[in-house]
Every structure is written in C-alpha cells, then in structure tokens.
Amino acid sequence: MTGARSPGSRPRRLSLSRWSVRSRILASLLLVAALGLVGAEVTNYLVQRTLTLSDVDARLVSRVALARSVVTRSENGFSTSSEALRSVLAGVLPNSHEDALGIVNGRVQFYPDVVTDIHLENDTAFAAQVVREVGTKTVWLGTTDSQVGPIRYIAVPISVAGDPQSAIYVAAVSMDQELAPLNSSLGTFAIIAVVALLAIGLVGWFVAGRLLRPIRQLDAAASRITASDRRERIPVVGTDDVSELTGTINDMLDRLDSAMTGQRQLLDDVRHELKTPITIIRGHLELLDVSDAEEVAATRALALDELDRMSGLVDDIEALADTQRGLLAIAPVDVADLTADVFAKVQGLRGHDWMLVETAQARAELDAARITQGWLQLVDNAAKYSPPGSTIELGSRLDGDEVEFWVRDSGPGIPDESLQRIFDRFGRVDTGRGIHGSGLGLPIVKAIAEGHGGRVSLDSGTSGSRFGIVVPVGSPQGNEGEESDA
Ligand code: ADP
C-alpha cells in the first residue's frame, strides 16, 4: 500500500546531498589539516634524525681523536699495542648510549671500566666483522646490526712500533637509544595531531552546519511556498555571501510573485472583457425571431461584429504577451530610415492629413519591428480619437542619449484623472464618441518602451495629445530576453 502525501509536501530527495555538503566540507577540512600536520611532522622528524646522525658521527670521530691523543701522549711508555689499547679504553670513557671495545688478535680483550648503556663485549660476530673491515685501513666508520640492535661505530687500529700484534679500538653508539627521544616525540605528536583533528572536526562540523543553516531555511521556505501562499520570504541574517544569496532568492520570489499576480490579473481581465461580447451575442440569439428575415440579418451582423471584436481582443492579448515576454531582436538601426518607413506606412491611412515634422539623424540599438508596432499603435490611436480630416503630426527626435518617436493629434486629450489608467490593461476611457477598442493598445506601447529600457511620454491637454516612445540610443541593459512584469 502506498501512503498518501499531504498537499504541499514533497519528496525529501535533497536531504542526502545537503548532509553530504556538510560532510564534504568537513572531509576537505580534515584532509588538509591532516596533510599539513603529517607533512610538518615528517619534515621535522627527518631534519632531527639527520642532525642526530651527524651528531653521532661527530662524537665517534672525536673518540678516535681522544684515543690517538692517549696513545701519542704516552707512546714512549707502551711496549705493546695491547698495552696501549688498554690505556685508551681506560682513558676514553664512553658516553650515554655508547660502548667501547679493545680487540686484540681478533678477540675482545678490553672493555670500559664503567657501567655502559649497551654491552658489545660478547658480540663475537661484531668483533669479527670489525677485524675484517679494518684490515689495512686506518679508520672504519660504519653501521650494522648487533646483539643490541642497530649501532653506528668507529674502529681504529692501535699499533706500537716493534709489536706485530693487531689491536683495534672500537667505539659504538646504539641507534635505537639515540633515536628513542625523537621516536617518542613522534608518538606524542601523533596524539596531539589526533586531538587537533578531533577539535578541527568538531568546530568544522558546527561551523559548516551554521553556514549551511540559511540554505536549510531556504529549502524549508521554498517547500512552504505554494501557488496559493507566495508571501513567504527567507529571513536575511548577517552580511555574508550566503545572506546575499538569500536576498537574491527573495528578490526572485518577489519577481515570480508579481509575474504570477500579473498573469492572474490578465486572466481576470480577459475573462471580464470576453464576457460582454458573449453575453451580447447570447442575448440576441435567445431573443431572435428566426421567421423575421430582417431581424436575423441584423443579429447576424451584430454577432459578426462582436466576434470580430473578440478576435481583435485575442490578437491584442497575444501581442501584449509577446511584448511582455521581452524577446527583443536588438540591432543597430538608422533612426532616419525607420522614421521614413513608418511615415510611408502612415500615409496609407485615410481620413487625416499626415505631417512629418522632424527626423532624428542617429543610429540606435533597438528592435525596429517592435518600435514600428508601438509607433503605429500611437498613430492608430491618434487617428481614432481626433476629428476626421484633422492634421496629425509625427516625428523622431534625439534628446541627449535618448531618441523619441512621437505622434501629436488634435483630439479631445486625456482627462487628468485618467492619465494613469490609460496605460493599464483594458484601462479605456469613454470618450463619449462611441469609439471601440480593446484597451490594450497603450499597455502594448508601454511594454515595448520598457522592454527597450525606456518609457512612454505623454503631453495631453484639451486641444490634443502628444504621445511618444522614448528609448535609449545605446543597447538596453538587461532587457533582452527578460520577462517583464505584467
Ligand atoms: P483603446 O484605444 O483600444 O481603447 P488604448 O490602450 O490604446 O485602448 O487606449 C486607452 C485609452 O486611452 C483609450 O480608451 C482612450 O480613451 C485613451 N487614448 C488613447 N490614445 C488617445 C488619443 N490619442 N487621444 C485621446 N485619448 C486617447
């Protein structure tokens, strides 16, 4: 059985990725921190190890120097190499982590008279290795594995003139013991690193959660926003980029809200406007006496007239919707050519004297077809609302970085109280002269002007009106392809 979802609820498919963003931030943080800590410690360890090893070598070399000085100081007193070797072992005492051996004829015969940290006297394999290595060389510095673990050692032959015995002095250092402090500091560091990573993880988890909170709120608010209740907005907290994003989304919601309100308004207006012709046609058809040929002809004419009006209304609604969708084909246009084209078209309209008063010499970035459509709408209104046979003037004018396409008539003008309303959809003003219209002409002109980043100009008095479309000469900013508010 499948459970019914409450209205407005939606699958929470985003929750996984939302958590994973938090986890991913944390993982990146921990990875970088861990790499940094390990890198720093490994470098430190290697440097310290190198220093320790060179210190060991320096100590071993100094043992040889000491051994030589013991032999040199007392050379006249030694009759055998073995005797000299014993004096060396008695005079050069091993330090911590060190041991020393005196090897005579391949066997360990002397060792220090003090307690040493390591004991090599019983390591016969090591003694044999040293004897082999020293051979004819004077000094041998090497590293090997002994009974006490890895050692670094130095071996030097001790000889006394006239004594054929082979005597070798050996000083050795336990590497394990030398490196023990360094190795134990590595362990301490590992504990500190783990604690630091835990702290970074904990702080990172809360900080990431805090930073992502507006996005969670955004998600929750977006879920709450429905077609019936679009007032919900996300609270903007702070001044960081997340709050900037929140502000941008709130603005977008405002625009969507007003676009939807506009659409609903348009639907209401259209329904209202279509109701009248439908009612008229229906009323006449209901009362029609089909036996009366004259009445049938009159009703037919009336119905066709009303249907033409409805069809004109639908065309205007489509034109308005297209204009408000704002898909303009902006291109550089020669304003003088455009003016001449429109004036040529206007002269085909009968019933008035048309006069081209001025022509702007300029190039402008605009949609020539839309500007022509809007200008001709103004021309059409002027022709509709001014007395037959009167002169109607038109022209284009450059004013700073704006160009105006205007039409002046000698009609009744527009009453002050109606100045705003005439630009609203279906905002008709009854001129008392029985002139029909959809009430969409001026809203279309306004949408065209605003689509170009411009406006409609209007100067109206009792002796006529002057309407104009004012647009910037340069390319309109951010209007191309943008949906304008209804
Ligand atoms: P329509 O002309 O279809 O009624 P418009 O949107 O073109 O719709 O015009 C709205 C109203 O503005 C008209 O009903 C009319 O009252 C007024 N109007 C428009 N142009 C003129 C004009 N040139 N002179 C006087 N009134 C005008």
Q: Say what the pLDDT of residue 149 is.
A: 94
For ligand 1, whether the C-beta of 441 sits within 6 Å is yes
With a cut of 60, say whether residue 75 has pLDDT above it: no
With a cut of 60, say whether residue 308 has pLDDT above it: yes
> In CATH, what number is assigned to the domain containing residue 151?
3.30.450
Pick the range with the lowest mean pLDDT from 12-26, 27-41, 235-249, 460-474. Answer: 12-26
**Residue 366, SS3 per DSSP:** strand
Does residue 183 sit in the same domain as residue 100? yes
The rounded Å distance from CA 475 to ligand 1 centre is 30
Q: Say what the pLDDT of residue 141 is.
A: 93
What six digits make up the tokens of 226?
A: 């429905």
CB 234 within 8 A of CB 249: yes
For ligand 1, whether the C-beta of 78 sits within 6 Å is no
> In CATH, what number is assigned to the domain containing residue 345?
3.30.565.10
CA distances from 356 to 36, 55, 344, 394, 407 (A): 78, 103, 10, 5, 9
Q: Say what the pLDDT of residue 2 is.
A: 40
Residues in the chain, overall count: 486
Final residue belonging to a domain, choices 276, 300, 324: 324
What six digits make up the tokens of 201?
A: 């993880």
The rounded Å distance from CA 414 to ligand 1 centre is 8
Q: pLDDT grade, residue 76 (50/70/90)?
A: low
Does residue 94 sit in the same domain as residue 129? yes
The rounded Å distance from CA 46 to ligand 1 centre is 89
For ligand 1, whether the C-beta of 438 sits within 6 Å is yes
Pocket test for ligand 1, best of 314, 377, 406, 429 (most atoms within 8 A of CB): 429
Q: pLDDT grade, residue 232 (50/70/90)?
A: confident
For ligand 1, whether the C-beta of 82 sits within 6 Å is no
Q: Considering the domain boundaries, does residue 2 fall inside one?
A: no
Structure-model confidence comparison of residues 38 and 479, the more confident one = 38
For ligand 1, whether the C-beta of 382 sits within 6 Å is yes
Beta bridge partners of 141: 154
Tens of pLDDT, residue by residue over 461-473, are 888 999 999 999 9
CA distances from 437 to 315, 402, 447 (A): 12, 30, 18
> In CATH, what number is assigned to the domain containing residue 229?
1.10.287
Q: What is the mean pLDDT of the chain?
A: 85
Q: Considering the domain boundaries, does residue 4 fall inside one?
A: no
Does residue 134 sit in the same domain as residue 267? no
CA angle 121, 127, 133 (to 5 degrees): 150
Pocket test for ligand 1, best of 394, 423, 428 (most atoms within 8 A of CB): 428
With a cut of 80, say whether residue 32 has pLDDT above it: yes
For ligand 1, whether the C-beta of 412 sits within 6 Å is yes
For ligand 1, whether the C-beta of 422 sits within 6 Å is yes
The rounded Å distance from CA 428 to ligand 1 centre is 6
Residue whose tokens read 């009336």:
302
For ligand 1, whether the C-beta of 378 sits within 6 Å is no
Tens of pLDDT, residue by residue over 405-461, are 999 999 988 888 888 888 887 766 665 555 666 678 898 899 899 989 999 999 988
Q: Considering the domain boundaries, does residue 480 fall inside one?
A: no
Q: Considering the domain boundaries, does residue 12 fall inside one?
A: no
Does residue 199 sit in the same domain as residue 102? yes
Atom 23, ligand 1: residue with shortest CA distance? 382
Final residue belonging to a domain, choices 218, 236, 263: 218
Residue whose tokens read 């605009």:
366
Q: Say what the pLDDT of residue 365 is.
A: 94
Q: pLDDT grade, residue 14 (50/70/90)?
A: very low
Does residue 464 sit in the same domain as residue 354? yes
Q: Say what the pLDDT of residue 5 is.
A: 42
Of 49, 154, 61, nearest in space to 99 by CA: 154
For ligand 1, whether the C-beta of 411 sits within 6 Å is yes
Domain extent at residue 339: 325-472
Does residue 242 sit in the same domain as residue 314? yes
Tens of pLDDT, residue by residue over 82-105, are 989 999 999 899 989 999 999 998
Of 445, 410, 409, 411, nearest in space to 427 by CA: 445
Q: pLDDT grade, residue 479 (50/70/90)?
A: very low
Q: Say what the pLDDT of residue 416 is.
A: 85
For ligand 1, whether the C-beta of 442 sits within 6 Å is yes
With a cut of 60, say whether residue 484 has pLDDT above it: no
Pick the range with the lowest mean pLDDT from 15-19, 230-234, 282-286, 301-305. Answer: 15-19
Euclidean distance between CA atoms 187 and 41, whole angstroms: 11
The rounded Å distance from CA 333 to ligand 1 centre is 28
Q: Say what the pLDDT of residue 267 is.
A: 82
Report, as an integer, the average pLDDT of 337-341. 96
Final residue belonging to a domain, choices 302, 324, 346: 324
Does residue 192 sit in the same domain as residue 332? no
Domain count for the chain: 3
The rounded Å distance from CA 462 to ligand 1 centre is 14
Which helix (H) or strand (E) segment holds residue 422: the answer is none
Does residue 439 sit in the same domain as residue 306? no
Does residue 97 sit in the same domain as residue 74? yes
For ligand 1, whether the C-beta of 476 sits within 6 Å is no
Q: Considering the domain boundaries, does residue 278 fall inside one?
A: yes
For ligand 1, whether the C-beta of 437 sits within 6 Å is yes
* Cα dihedral 359/361/364/370 (nearest 10): 20
What six digits make up the tokens of 12?
A: 């929470």
Euclidean distance between CA atoms 266 and 268, whole angstroms: 5
The rounded Å distance from CA 411 to ligand 1 centre is 11
Euclidean distance between CA atoms 115 and 45, whole angstroms: 31
Report, as an integer, the average pLDDT of 192-219. 88
Q: Say what the pLDDT of residue 184 is.
A: 92
Cα-Cα end-to-end distance for the chain? 45
Q: Say what the pLDDT of residue 48 is.
A: 95
List the helix and strand counts (H, then E) for the chain.
Answer: 9, 12
In the chain, the percentage of residues whose pLDDT exceeds 70 is 89
Q: pLDDT grade, residue 8 (50/70/90)?
A: very low
Q: Say what the pLDDT of residue 326 is.
A: 66
Does residue 230 sit in the same domain as residue 358? no
For ligand 1, whether the C-beta of 465 sits within 6 Å is yes
Does residue 409 sit in the same domain as residue 462? yes
Q: Considering the domain boundaries, does residue 123 fall inside one?
A: yes
Of 316, 302, 309, nearest in space to 275 by CA: 309
Does residue 77 sit in the same domain as residue 204? yes
Q: Considering the domain boundaries, does residue 478 fall inside one?
A: no
The rounded Å distance from CA 112 to ligand 1 centre is 121
Name residue 137's amino acid.
K
For ligand 1, whether the C-beta of 385 sits within 6 Å is yes
Q: For the whole prediction, is pTM greater than 0.75?
A: no
Atom of ligand 1 nearest to the CA of 435: 4
The rounded Å distance from CA 371 to ligand 1 centre is 18
Q: Considering the domain boundaries, does residue 481 fall inside one?
A: no
In the chain, the percentage of residues whose pLDDT exceeds 90 is 50
Atom 19, ligand 1: residue with shortest CA distance? 381
